[in-house]
Amino acid sequence: MNSSIKIICKKNALKNGLFPIYLRVTINRKCKFYSTPYHCNLSEWDENQGEFKSKFRNSLHFNKALRKIKDNAADVLSTLEREYQSYNLILFDKYYSLTENEGISFEELFQKEIVNLRENKQTSYAESMEGSLKTLKSFQKNLKHYTFENIDFQFLTDFENFLRKRGANDGGIGSYMRNIRTIYNKAIKYKVVQEQYYPFKDFKISKFKKQNVKKALSETEFKKIIDFKMEKTPHAINARYAYIFSYYTRGMNFTDISEIKWSDIENNQFSYHRNKTDVLLKIKLPDIPIIKEIFSFYKTYRPHNTPYIFPILKKEKKHYDDLELKKRKDSVRGFYNLQLKLILKICKIEKDITFLYSPSHFCYGRSSKRCKYKCYKTSFRA
């Protein structure tokens, strides 16, 4: 069969300005790319040879690793040619996935997961992972030599102490540990390490859960926000409307609110794929005055020429790169959070509501039953 294997440097730059290295497998003119943990400047890559140039740091070591990746793929092709009269990329992928991560180190799999997250446009999650890996490398200078068997109870305990000395609280430590656990779970799935070495059986992440659980707004408090007179603080109108809209859409988070379009809504109903989980959610808005007020306001107030209901993005999403889009959303979200605090202060509500995640008192799709927080399906329908 017509097949080929090559190590290539893709021309789409990562956030750090470097270019990712991939294994490209071609079978019958169809290609599949497999990410590697490596990246470099274009001037450091030998395209003809498919390897790093000698001026690249540790070129001998990394080229040896790339040759091993290529050899593993070649072995899989040889197996397929020997055992099957014909084969395709699907069959290759099934065999190769078993060998791709063989012998990979803790740091290498961590880096590989970050590359995958970047490719899947999961920018925030990728940045969280990058932050965790950077801190781990500060904690353990020889991390690149660590296998998964080295990531044991003692390692995690020492890392926790390291973080506490740097001023990290339980919430921050829990985030680091969850990222490590994600990588370890993948390693077990990929057969890189045996399950018997899993350190989180003894090292419990649950101990890092925050004790100060946020309290939901009461019906009376939420009604104060509905009845709030915007003359007191007109610049907070967008934050107030976005929060109320989120409330009546079962906790729609900020990034999804920023991308909801006029064309998505028909007869107060719409569906959307949640950015964070890609889960399809179906929403039916209540036919009440405040919803009509929000739509009426934004049909007139159009500061940006976009198809979106809320004036969060200045241009269409496709015209932003990933980093620009995140910065824009984070900037507006930060401003809206300040305005929400101001509204709460004026309303004399001693609680905290923000767009950091989703407001904590929504029923999240259980609207057919009486939500313990008394969501709009039972309490606020006019």
Q: What is the pLDDT of residue 374?
A: 35
Q: What is the pLDDT of residue 371?
A: 40
Of the ranges 70-84, 165-179, 266-280, which one carries the lowest mean pLDDT score? Answer: 266-280
Contact present, 125 and 114 (Cβ < 8 Å): no
- In angstroms, the CA 179 to CA 191 distance is 19
Residue 4 pLDDT grade (very low, low, confident, very high; cuts 50, 70, 90): very high
Question: Average pLDDT over the chain, rounded to whole?
Answer: 85
Residue 53 pLDDT grade (very low, low, confident, very high; cuts 50, 70, 90): very high
CA contacts within 13 A on the Cβ side of 169: 5
Q: What is the pLDDT of residue 125?
A: 85
Strands 19-27 and 30-40, sheet pairing: antiparallel
Q: What is the pLDDT of residue 46?
A: 94
Q: What is the pLDDT of residue 244?
A: 95
Q: What is the pLDDT of residue 209?
A: 75
How wide is the angle at C-alpha 279 spanned by C-alphas 273 and 281, nearest 5°? 65
pTM to 2 decimal places = 0.52
Answer yes or no: is pLDDT of 344 > 60.
yes
Q: What is the pLDDT of residue 98?
A: 63
- In angstroms, the CA 227 to CA 15 distance is 44
Q: Where are the beta strands (DSSP E) in the chain?
A: 3-9, 19-27, 30-40, 45-46, 51-52, 269-273, 280-284
Domain boundaries, the chain: 3-100, 108-208, 219-346
- In angstroms, the CA 141 to CA 84 distance is 46
- In angstroms, the CA 341 to CA 337 distance is 6
Distances, alpha carbon 346 to alpha carbons 217, 250, 332, in Å: 15, 25, 21
Answer yes or no: is pLDDT of 15 > 50.
yes
How do residues 122-133 score in pLDDT, each as one tens digit?
A: 777 888 899 999
Q: What is the pLDDT of residue 274?
A: 81
Residue 192 pLDDT grade (very low, low, confident, very high; cuts 50, 70, 90): confident
Answer yes or no: is pLDDT of 216 > 90.
no
Answer yes or no: is pLDDT of 269 > 90.
yes
Answer yes or no: is pLDDT of 55 > 50.
yes
Answer yes or no: is pLDDT of 97 > 60.
yes
Q: What is the pLDDT of residue 85?
A: 79
Q: What is the pLDDT of residue 342?
A: 93
How wide is the angle at C-alpha 24 spanned by C-alphas 19 and 26, nearest 5°? 155
How do residues 347-380 score in pLDDT, each as one tens digit?
A: 999 888 888 533 333 333 333 333 433 333 322 2
- In angstroms, the CA 255 to CA 64 distance is 43
Q: What is the mean pLDDT of residues 67-76?
A: 90
- In angstroms, the CA 197 to CA 150 distance is 9
How do residues 125-178 score in pLDDT, each as one tens digit?
A: 888 899 999 999 999 999 999 999 999 999 999 999 999 999 988 988 999 999
Contact present, 186 and 109 (Cβ < 8 Å): yes
